[in-house]
Amino acid sequence: MCGIIGYIGKEKAVPIMMDGLAKLSYRGYDSSGIAILDDKQLKILKKKGKVGRLKKEVNKSKLESCIGIAHTRWATHGEPSDNNAHPHMDCNRKIAIVHNGIIENYMHLKKHLQDKGHKFVSQTDTEVLAHLIEDHYRGDIEQAVREAGGRLIGAFAVVVICKEDKERLIVARKDCPLIIGLGRQGNFIASDIPVLLSHTKKFIILENSEMASVWANEVKVCDFDGEVIKKEPQEINWEWGEVEKEGYEHFMLKEIHEQPRTIRDTLRDRLQKDGRVILKDIKLSDKYIEKLKRIYIVACGTAYHAAMIGEHIFEDLLRIPVEVDMASEFRYRDPILDEHTLVIAISQSGETADTLASVKEARAKGAVVIAITNVVNSSIVRESNYTLYTRAGAEIAVASTKAFTAQLIVLFLIALRFSQHAGRIAGGVMTEIAKYLNDLPAQVQTVLDEVDDIKEICQCLAEKIKDDEFNWFKYNSCFFIGRGLDAPIAKEGALKLKEISYIHADAYPAGELKHGNIALITKNTPVVALVTQDKVR
Question: Site residues (CB under 6 A) for ligand GLU?
Answer: 2, 73-78, 99-102, 124-126
As measured in angstroms, the least distance from the Cβ of 311 to ligand GLU is 32
Rounded to an integer, what distance in angstroms lies between the CA atom of residue 119 and that of residue 128?
10
Query: E strand or H helix at 96, and its extent?
Result: strand 95-103
Rounded to an integer, what distance in angstroms lies between the CA atom of residue 36 and that of residue 63?
8
As measured in angstroms, the least distance from the Cβ of 393 to ligand GLU is 8
As measured in angstroms, the least distance from the Cβ of 77 to ligand GLU is 4
As measured in angstroms, the least distance from the Cβ of 74 to ligand GLU is 4
* Dihedral sign for Cα atoms in the order 94, 121, 45, 199: positive
As measured in angstroms, the least distance from the Cβ of 208 to ligand GLU is 17
Identify which of residues 75 and 437 has a Cβ nearer to ligand GLU in the complex: 75
As measured in angstroms, the least distance from the Cβ of 347 to ligand GLU is 20
Q: Who contacts 102 (Cβ-Cβ below 8 Å, separation ≥6)? A: 76, 77, 125, 154, 155, 156, 265, 268, 269, 391
Helix H, strand E, coil C: the string for 236-276 is CCCCHHHHCCCCCCCHHHHHHHCHHHHHHHHHCCCECCCCC
Identify which of residues 101 and 482 has a Cβ nearer to ligand GLU in the complex: 101
Contact between 64 and 41 (Cβ < 8 Å): no
Rounded to an integer, what distance in angstroms lies between the CA atom of residue 137 and that of residue 281?
33
Identify which of residues 99 and 257 has a Cβ nearer to ligand GLU in the complex: 99
Identify which of residues 54 and 416 has a Cβ nearer to ligand GLU in the complex: 54
Burial category of 275 from C-beta neighbours within 10 Å (exposed 0-12, middle 13-18, buried 19 and up): buried
- Which one, of 355, 342, 335, 341, lies nearest residue 282 by Cα? 342
Rounded to an integer, what distance in angstroms lies between the CA atom of residue 230 and that of residue 239?
27
Concatenating the DSSP letter of every residue in 39-74 gives SS-EEEEEEES-HHHHHHHHHHHT---SEEEEEEE-
Q: Who contacts 523 (Cβ-Cβ below 8 Å, separation ≥6)? A: none
Three-state secondary structure call for residue 293: coil
> What letter would DSSP give residue 419?
H
As measured in angstroms, the least distance from the Cβ of 425 to ligand GLU is 31
Identify which of residues 76 and 407 has a Cβ nearer to ligand GLU in the complex: 76
Identify which of residues 87 and 335 has a Cβ nearer to ligand GLU in the complex: 87
Rounded to an integer, what distance in angstroms lies between the CA atom of residue 86 and that of residue 82?
9
Identify which of residues 268 and 504 has a Cβ nearer to ligand GLU in the complex: 268
As measured in angstroms, the least distance from the Cβ of 506 to ligand GLU is 40
> What letter would DSSP give residue 175?
B
Identify which of residues 12 and 53 has a Cβ nearer to ligand GLU in the complex: 53
Query: Residue 515: beta bridge partners?
Result: none
Identify which of residues 2 and 132 has a Cβ nearer to ligand GLU in the complex: 2
Rounded to an integer, what distance in angstroms lies between the CA atom of residue 516 and that of residue 111?
64
Report the DSSP pairing between strands 88-89 and 42-48.
unpaired
* Residue with smallest beta-carbon separation from ligand GLU: 2
As measured in angstroms, the least distance from the Cβ of 133 to ligand GLU is 16
Contact between 184 and 218 (Cβ < 8 Å): no
Identify which of residues 126 and 213 has a Cβ nearer to ligand GLU in the complex: 126
Q: What angle do CA 280, 284, 285 make, to 5 degrees?
A: 115
As measured in angstroms, the least distance from the Cβ of 50 to ligand GLU is 15
As measured in angstroms, the least distance from the Cβ of 176 to ligand GLU is 8
Helix H, strand E, coil C: the string for 453-479 is HHHHHHHHHHCECCCCCCCCECCCEEE
Identify which of residues 158 and 489 has a Cβ nearer to ligand GLU in the complex: 158
